[in-house]
Amino acid sequence: MHIRFGQGEVILALLFAALGILWIATAFGMPFWQGFAPQSGFVPFWYGVILVGLSAAIVVNLVRQTEAAAEPPIGKPLIVLAALAGGILGLDLAGFGPSVFLLLLFLFAVVERLPVARSAAVAAATTAVLLLIFKAWLRIPLPTGPLGI
Amino acid sequence: MDAFYNLAQGFVTAATPANLLMCLLGVLLGQIIGVLPGIGPSAAIALLLPLTFGSSPTGAIIMFAGLYYGAQYGGTLTSVLINVPGESTSVMTAIDGHEMAKQGRAGVALGIAAIGSFIAGTLGTLGLMLLAPLLAFAALAFGPPEYFALVALGLTALAAVGGSVLKGLATGVAGLIIGSIGIDPQVGVPRFTFDQMWLFDGVDFIILAVALFGLGEVLATTGMPAVKPILNIGRVLPNRQEWRQARLAILRGTGVGFFIGILPAAGATIASFVGYIIEKKVAKDPSRFGKGAIEGVAGPESANNAASAGAMVPMFSLGVPGSNTTAVMLGALIMFGLRPGPEMFTTNSSLVWAVIASMYIGNLILLLMNLPLASLFARMLQIPYSWIYPPILAICLTGAIANANSVEDAWVMLGFGVLGWLMKRYDWPAAPMVLGLVLGPLFENTLRQSLTLSHGSGMIFLSRPISAGLLAAAVLAIAVPAITALILRQRQISLPGT
């Protein structure tokens, strides 16, 4: 079967619907109404119902569309996302400074294929500025690793 | 005369060296952010919030306001020089502005935009100064039903501004859902925390704003091709004939922009569209439009700057934002422990008037900065995006961790960043989601208080004239664009091939 509507957008709408269903199901386990007053589950339950209804209407609209818009490629954003996830994982292992430096170097030199020396210099300068502002000036305890930064 | 006395007091506060520096920093950052792709004023304010912890709320809000209207100036540069609007508010400017640049009149386009923006921003601030206290005074009579209706209007109006009302409403309700995570504001028990301790405090609005406006925007823009800018700026001051053509356009743009700006969520983008359409309608020779008509730059540029000032009216006086950026500013005010709304003018009068006074100063700084430095800012357009987005990502990551010194927040940001990317990819608006999160507790509290007051009857919202009127406006905000879209679709069906 040839599907003409944007599958990615349908998946997004279904994600929103799933969120609504989760809220309806969870709200059922909460007090709903007592005396004259609505309780904890009342408003979230209706949020869930409205979100499911809106998501269903969006899906119907998408399915009825005769043509799907061309979707931009997802390769590069996924690589950037994976690099960012790696950078977050590295925060606890290597500390803020090395993780951010390596994340920036990877994005500049590997993903964007920019000159390595200049990439390293910009990555180091950006990391240093962030450390100066957040750690030295604002005294925010950013994660530290074996190097102490 | 109270307004002028309060304004004088505001100037005293705004003119302290620290606040002047914040104003200068705000407009300069706004100008740069307006020029750079992949980051808008909403994300910039969210990212700067951790830097303002511990500082004076007055200075921080002065900087954020400066960043907001400074970005309107910056967005014009990209519209004129590369035909890519830096902000949605500059879409209409690109039509005639870029044509002027191709004719070697880029400087005049930027010059008239700066002059028009200065006049509109100054007159708009005057309107804000006179109108906001009146509105705040009227809103002092508001009870829970009126506040509920007001928030409903804010959410629906913001949802209706984008391309699809359904998508806007869905993201708004999803924001309300996210806002319900954590401790129930009325009875103090945890809900929707799924036994996760880190969810007890709910999802922080900074994390959501950085993820949706920062990370999501970067991911959606990474594959963007580079565009060569026109760097021949030329003279920036308009000659006598150009000034004669533009001056009335500036005044018309100011009037229409301000009044559109004060409508909850109508915003500067719509103002610039209407500003352009009006100029084309009143022109003796409409065929000049699209071919480098100076009124096509002066009208929408004045309209979007006046609307930026107008959008502050509902934010300060009612606590309902008039645009995406003021939605984030509203969150910032709440973070500083302030409650935007009618009480702001009595409990935090010095802050409000200092911000208003700083807007006069900021607009003057922008005019002085833009006329001689237009070519310098234009050179920033030569920086390839591949050098820009990795540092933006690093700032997003640092901002997320610094917010609560928590690496978990970085994971939350990553998750919402993926959502923001998908939403951007399929044109689902992010602002209603952030607004839903920010206004969620007020929305739920006032709904529950109203229903308790009325012994469970929903008629309380319809029996009180103000709440009924506001709810009717909310229904219209959804119905008008939906019906218009339906009529247009019917016409397309009945006219095949057109």
The type of residue at B127 is G
Shortest alpha-carbon distance between residue A24 and chain B (Å): 11
Q: What is the pLDDT of residue B319?
A: 78
Least confident of A8-12, A64-68, B24-28, B214-218: A64-68
The pLDDT of residue B252? 94
Comparing B345 with B31, the larger pLDDT belongs to B31
Closest to B299 (Cα-Cα) out of B283, B284, B285: B283
pLDDT tens profile B91-147? 788 889 988 988 888 889 988 998 998 899 888 888 888 888 887 777 777 889 998
Angle between helices B240-262 and B106-139 (to 10 degrees): 30
pLDDT score, position B322:
65
The ipTM of this complex is: 0.92
Chain B residues 346-385 with a CB less than 8 Å from chain A:
none
**pLDDT greater than 50 at residue B498:** no
Res. B1 pLDDT band, cuts 50 70 90: low
Residues 175-194 of B with CB under 8 A from A: 176-177, 180, 184, 186-187, 189, 191-192
CA atoms within 13 A on the CB side of B492: 6
- Tens digits of residue pLDDT in B236-282: 888 899 999 899 999 999 999 988 887 765 667 778 888 898 898 88
| Confidence check: pLDDT of B294 > 60 | yes
Helices vs strands, H then E, count in chain A:
5, 2
- Nearest CB to B166 within list A6, A57, A127: A57
Estimate the share of chain A in helix, then strand, then coil, as percent rounded to the nearest 5.
Answer: 70, 5, 30
Using 50, 70 and 90 to split pLDDT, how confident is the model at A65?
Answer: confident
Stretch A86-113: mean pLDDT, rounded?
95
Please tell me the predicted confidence (pLDDT) of residue B227. Answer: 65
pLDDT at A128: 95
Q: Give the DSSP letter of residue A115.
A: -
CB B145 within 8 A of CB B458: no
Name the closest residue on chain A to residue B422, using Cα atoms: A12
pLDDT attached to residue B161: 65
User: Domain-by-domain residue ranges, chain B?
Assistant: 2-494
B-chain residue closest to A48, CA distance = B177
> SS3 sequence, B223-280?
CCCCCCCCCCCCCCCCCHHHHHHHHHHHHHHHHHHHHHHHCCCCHHHHHHHHHHHHHH
Residue with more model confidence, B49 or A100 = A100
Contact of B420 with B215, CB cutoff 8 Å: yes
pLDDT at A3 over 50: no
Q: What is the pLDDT of residue B418?
A: 95
Average pLDDT over residues B18-31: 91
DSSP state of A111: I
- Six token digits for residue A3: 């599907």
**Residue B410 tokens, joined:** 């970085």
Identify whether the C-beta of residue B62 lies closer than 8 Å to the C-beta of residue B14.
yes
Degrees to nearest 5, angle at CA B131 with B129 and B136 = 105
Q: What are phi and psi of B465, to 5 degrees?
A: -60, -40
Contact A107 B393 (CB under 8 A): yes
Test the A interface: residue of B199, B426, B448 with most A CBs within 10 Å: B426
CA–CA separation, B440 and B334 (whole Å) = 13
**B398 — contact with chain A (CB < 8 Å)?**
yes
Q: If pLDDT is split at 50, 70 and 90, which confidence band does B232 have? A: confident
pLDDT value at residue B342: 75
What's the rounded Cα separation, in Å, for the pair B172 and B429? 9
Pick the closest to residue B329 from B343, B346, B312 (CA basis): B312
B409 touches chain A (CB under 8 A): no
Backbone angles phi, psi at B164, to 5 degrees: -125, 120
In B15-54, the residues whose Cβ lies within 8 Å of chain A are 50-51, 53-54
B348 band by pLDDT with thresholds 50, 70 and 90? confident
Nearest to B120 by CA among B247, B263, B279: B247
CB contacts < 8 A, A to B, total 165
At residue B86, the pLDDT reads 64
Q: How far apart are CA B342 and CA B317, in angstroms?
A: 5
The confidence score (pLDDT) of residue B87 equals: 65
B100 contacts B80 by C-beta, under 8 angstroms: yes
Q: How is B317-342 classified by DSSP, letter by letter?
A: HHS--SSHHHHHHHHHHHHTT---ST
Q: Which residue has the higher pLDDT, B495 or A77?
A: A77
- Which range has the worst mean pLDDT, A114-128, B226-240, B287-301, B454-468? B226-240
- Average pLDDT over all residues of chain B: 84
Chain-centre distance for alpha carbon B239: 33
DSSP A54: H
Residue A33's alpha-carbon distances to A36, A37, B34, B184, in angstroms, are: 7, 6, 49, 14
β B182-183/A33-34 pair status: unpaired
Contact flag A77-B219 (C-beta cutoff 8 Å): yes
User: Count of CB atoms within 10 A of residue B415's CB?
Assistant: 13
Supply angle C-alpha B6, B9, B14, rounded to 5.
120
How wide is the angle at C-alpha B481 spanned by C-alphas B476 and B483, nearest 5°? 90
What's the pLDDT at A1?
42
**What is the structure's pLDDT at B494?**
61
Nearest to A43 among B389, B422, B448 (CB): B448
Q: What pLDDT, in 10s, does the model give residues A66-95?
A: 676 677 788 899 999 999 999 999 998 999
Instruction: Give the one of A23, A41, A104 whose C-beta lies nearest to B390's C-beta.
Output: A104
Tell me, what's the pLDDT at A138?
A: 78
CA nearest A58 in B: which residue? B166
Q: Which residues contact B404 (CB under 8 A, 6 or more apart)?
A: B201, B204
For B227, list phi and psi in degrees, rounded to 5: -120, 135
Q: Which of B219, B153, B246 is nearest to B414 (CA)?
A: B219
DSSP A38: E
Euclidean distance between CA atoms B29 and B66, whole angstroms: 8
Taking the Cβ of residue B232 and every Cβ of chain A, the question of whether any pair is shorter than 8 Å is answered with no
Distance (Å, whole) CA B262 – CA B321: 9
Q: Quick check: B289 pLDDT over 80?
A: yes
